[in-house]
Amino acid sequence: MSKISTFFYGIGQGLKNIFRNRMFSLASIATMAACLFLFGVFYAVIANFRAMISKAETRVGITVFFNEGTTDDRIKEIGEEIMYRAEVSEIVLTTAEQAWEEYKKEKLSPELIETFGNDNPLENSASYTVYLNDISRQESLVRYIRGIDGVRKVNNKRDVSESLTSMNKVLTVLAIAIIIILLGVSIFLIGITISTGVSIRKQEISIMKLIGATNFFIRIPYIVEGILIGLIGAAIPLVIMHFGYGAIINALKENFDVLLSSTEFVDSASIMKVLIPISLGLGIGIGFIGSNITLGKQLRKIEVKTS
């Protein structure tokens, strides 16, 4: 039999197997769809949390103060040195006059402000606020800035940066753990479906082996069956996520406008751009691996009985 004929034979038999074992096939498809749907939901949640954390990281600033008497030209040079660093995304200069105006607004009553007249008690408090594009490099940047001539003091929010970095690590580990569990469950259930199909056709497979059919020829329908189950199980949650994600985000914004007014959600296109190849790849991969593992075991049992 030619390779093309074998290929189409495998597809035809794989489809027949799905209909023959429709109860187990539906159970496998439903479980696969549920697992990948949970994966999609979990990914969407993680993606949005990571986006929020990344945004928060970019707003965690390091405050740099200068030695008393540092000239404006030297302050400018210090800013250029800091900005040259790759991990720095932005620096903002707060002059002594700006610092005094902010302090008066936040801390002092009108009566106390009058006592200072035209004096500025914060005349040596000019500072840079330095924002990073990679908060994990904050400590090395702080050490570098402290070594710059003219810098008196560097304030960094170490606890905040460590908390954000820890949250990122926890989310990553949690995502990997859940994906592994979901993959294991899906492979197990597809394996049961394939095992049932092989059990039903044990006699037929034994006859095929007796007349010289190769293991590859026997395997094809079941591998096709596993891959088809995986593809169908992956397509269903993708359709639901495609239409559901945008609707949920819009509903959240409409109903919780005050709480979420400053929150920027990851758009649907970005979510689907990641989910489509991963979900389809997982569906095909799980179907292929699940069918191969189970089929190998079942064929060895049949070989033992027929030998």
Q: Please write the tens of the pLDDT for every residue from 79-136.
A: 889 888 888 888 888 887 776 677 666 655 565 556 655 655 566 678 888 888 877 7
Q: Which domain holds residue 243?
A: 3-56+163-306
283, 234 Cβ separation under 8 angstroms: yes
- The amino acid sitting at 105 is K
Question: Which of 98, 122, 156 is the C-terminal boundary of a domain?
Answer: 156
- The amino acid sitting at 306 is T
Residue 160: what pLDDT?
57
Residue 4: what pLDDT?
67
Residue whose entry in the numeric block shows the structure tokens 């660093």: 85
Same domain, 66 and 135: yes
For 124-187, the DSSP string reads T--EEEEEES-GGGHHHHHHHHHTSTTEEEEE--HHHHHHHHHHHHHHHHHHHHHHHHHHHHHH
64, 88 Cβ separation under 8 angstroms: no
Same domain, 71 and 48: no
Same domain, 112 and 242: no
Residue 70: what pLDDT?
80
Sequence-distant (≥ 6) Cβ neighbours of residue 106 within 8 angstroms: none
Same domain, 23 and 104: no
- The amino acid sitting at 248 is I
Residue 227: what pLDDT?
83
Number of domains in the chain: 2
Q: How many CB atoms are closer than 10 A to CB 190? A: 32
Same domain, 217 and 183: yes
3-class DSSP assignment, residue 307: coil
Q: What angle do CA 281, 287, 291 make, to 5 degrees?
A: 150
> Chain centroid to CA 71: how far?
47
Which residue ranges of the chain lie beneath pLDDT 70? 1-10, 14, 17-18, 21, 56-58, 99-100, 103-124, 157-165, 168, 186-187, 189-191, 193-205, 207-209, 211-213, 215, 257-263, 290, 293-307
Same domain, 67 and 100: yes
